[in-house]
Amino acid sequence: MAEISLICRSVVKSFGALKALAGVSFTIEGPIIKGLIGPNGSGKTVLLNVISKVPYGPDEGVILFNGMRIDKLTPQQICRLGIARTFQTTTFFPSLTVEQNLLVGATSIGVGKEIIDKALNITNLHTKRDIKAANLSIFELKKLMLAAALAIDPKLLLLDEPLSGLSEDEIDEMLKIIQYINATGKALLVIEHKISELAEICKELLVLHLGQVIADGPPEEVINSAEVFSAYFGGEKEIVRYK
């Protein structure tokens, strides 16, 4: 199984006077699912942006992936090392077919057809491979984004709200897909507002608030933390009792 290690040390990102990330440090070790939660504006998407360098990198701090410093690399170099991501809003080429959308990124880094076929199978899009992306449902477009990320054969996937806008049945399917991807030996860092659903599948939860890490550990400990509840609701009680 491939080595997977992501280390962020004192990562800072500012936009004018606003410090979106104020010294964020955390690690991902091994092929795990790590959840990333926090109130709106806490810096979650900014963190994924600076790790992938899309569309910007950190102002300060160090990011290491499998022992290599990546915060000075280009987005293309980071991608080639095995980090892929999805976005909150669906990004795709509407006039291209599902398979052609995957080929756009995969061919640029020399990934073979077998990886593309595997990505389509994992996301249950293999029967849609010749359908134009413009004709897909919202759920299928979310799976297309995920398949496009898988098509570069990454070691680490950064997912930004993969469950948003989905029905209960679609959420169940997406969670199963994420778990299957993890079972194949890949690590995932997943932003999600559906905390209970995320907690059921992840090994660790990282919580950001005002650009800082306020909790990082097993879901049952993090979710029942008074500090985390206070960040979300301004109180000193639990968010939800972890099952």
* pLDDT over threshold 90, residue 104: no
Span 54-70, mean pLDDT? 97
Instruction: Determine the average pLDDT of the residues in 64-76.
Output: 97
**Residue-by-residue DSSP string for 55-112:** S---SEEEEEETTEE-TTS-HHHHHHHTEEE--SS----TTSBHHHHHHHHHGGGT--
The Cα 145–Cα 102 span in angstroms is 9
C-alpha pair distances (Å), 38 with each of 92, 105, 216: 27, 31, 12
Summarize pLDDT for 169-217 with one digit per residue, the tens: 999 999 999 999 999 999 999 999 999 999 999 999 999 999 999 999 9
Share of the chain above pLDDT 70, in %: 94
Q: What confidence tens digit (pLDDT) does each residue in 114-134 have?
A: 999 999 999 999 999 999 999
pTM of the model: 0.93
Domains of the chain: 5-82+154-233 (3.40.50.300)
* pLDDT at site 241: 42
